[in-house]
Structure 1
Amino acid sequence: MTRAETDNAARACTDLVAAGGGDTIAAQVLRHVSDTTWNALVERHRGSGCEALATFARALLDGKKSLHGIVGTVVGRLLAALGRPRIEQVFARELAARVPLPFGHEVAVAARGLQAAGIFVCFTGGAVMQDCACLRDLLEHEGRAQFDNLLQGALNDWSELPTRMHDGAVMPGHQRP
């Protein structure tokens, strides 16, 4: 991640908030948490950044990926123990590792919501945006296009964030953007 990328991302946050996006993002947050909790979070992190939010969001996303791998490995080993041919083991392992887990969508919503909230808290709290841990983490792990997807998705129904961010399979009735 370069300084120019971070500066450009910070300008995108400024443009979004200047266009009224900050109020929209806050409204989305309040669909998921109480006014009291949100106001306390904003106050607590005013000027101090969002390091803890970024760390927890990354742990959720990494844990979700790891869990998929574990499920795939267990299925592959089970078929090996049953004496199934190698191709069946490989196929089952890959399929099981990629099939959406029943709670995977919710984990991704929580992680992406934490990132969006962290960026918003840093921006509105007067933090130096280049120091925003959520913004840095998103740019480092996902790239600028995904940062833009998160910003735009933060203005909409947050349950759509995993699809917008390509965090998993498409939920029934949804399409990838």
Structure 2
Amino acid sequence: MATDGWQATVADRATEYITERTWKKLFTARRSGLCKALADLAAETLATKKKLHSAVGWLAAWLVKRFGRGRLAVTVARELAENLPLPVDAKFTAVARGVQLTGIVICLADGQDLARCPCFVALALSETKDHLKKILASAVDNWAGLANFPASLRAAAE
């Protein structure tokens, strides 16, 4: 994963969305603590997405209550509004993941062990959690579907 080709690919993709000048500054500026700051920014971005969903849910509940509907209707409106995807969801996630990937490239450029890279750790934990959710969802639907999930991520690469 940590090959020069992977780093170049991420760098090429990143410069499509941030200026080349900013990208170069990432590698010429003092980078002490930069990955941690980027990891925190990614976490805050994802937390803001959740807060936005909560705010939309609160607004929907307030409107339904204002229209004189009962508690159950208010609860349904709030829960639907909180859980349905919003048009900006993909952007929030893309920004968070892009920031994390940038941090990972910085850690690799500094020769850091990825196990100590805050952005890599956050991304790995998030992806592992998503992978676990998929396994559990498959188990609920059909245990035969569990064969689609290898015993470990190492097995998936083999």
TM-score clears 0.5: yes
- Structure 1's 48 and 78: CA in aligned 2 closer, same or farther, altered over 3 A? closer
User: What displacement does 1:44 show?
Assistant: 2.4
Identity of aligned residues (%): 32
- Structure 1's 70 and 113: CA in aligned 2 closer, same or farther, altered over 3 A? same
**Which amino acid in structure 1 is aligned with residue 98 of structure 2?**
G
Contact kept? 1:118, 1:134, Cα under 8 Å:
yes
Choose which of 144, 151, 166 in structure 1 pairs with 2:128: 144
Distance 1:118 1:110 in 2: 12
User: What displacement does 1:71 show?
Assistant: 0.9
Q: Tell whether 2:101 aligns with 1:116.
A: yes
- Structure 1's 145 and 65: CA in aligned 2 closer, same or farther, altered over 3 A? closer
Contact kept? 2:35, 2:104, Cα under 8 Å:
yes
Choose which of 44, 57, 80 in structure 1 pairs with 2:42: 57
Choose which of 13, 19, 27 in structure 2 pairs with 1:42: 27
Contact kept? 2:100, 2:119, Cα under 8 Å:
yes
* Larger helix fraction of residues: 2
Partner of 1:156: none
Choose which of 96, 100, 116 in structure 2 pairs with 1:131: 116
Distance 1:87 1:145 in 2: 32
Distance 1:87 1:45 in 2: 55
Choose which of 66, 84, 91 in structure 1 pairs with 2:69: 84
After superposition, what is the alpha-carbon deviation per residue over 1:78-123, rounded to whole angstroms, capped at 9, x for unaligned? 2123221222212211111123333232222111100111111111
Partner of 2:17: 32
Contact kept? 1:49, 1:132, Cα under 8 Å:
no
User: What displacement does 1:48 show?
Assistant: 4.8
User: What displacement does 1:45 show?
Assistant: 5.3
Partner of 2:150: none
Contact kept? 1:115, 1:134, Cα under 8 Å:
yes
Which one has more relative contact order, counting CA pairs under 8 Å at least 6 apart? 1
Contact kept? 2:97, 2:123, Cα under 8 Å:
no
- Which structure has the greater CA radius of gyration? 2
User: What displacement does 1:23 show?
Assistant: 1.0
TM-score, normalisation: structure 1: 0.65
Distance 1:83 1:133 in 2: 49
Gapped regions of structure 2 (runs ≥ 5)? 132-158
TM-score, normalisation: structure 2: 0.72
For residue 50 of structure 1, give the secondary structure of its aligned residue in structure 2. Answer: helix
- Structure 1's 145 and 73: CA in aligned 2 closer, same or farther, altered over 3 A? closer
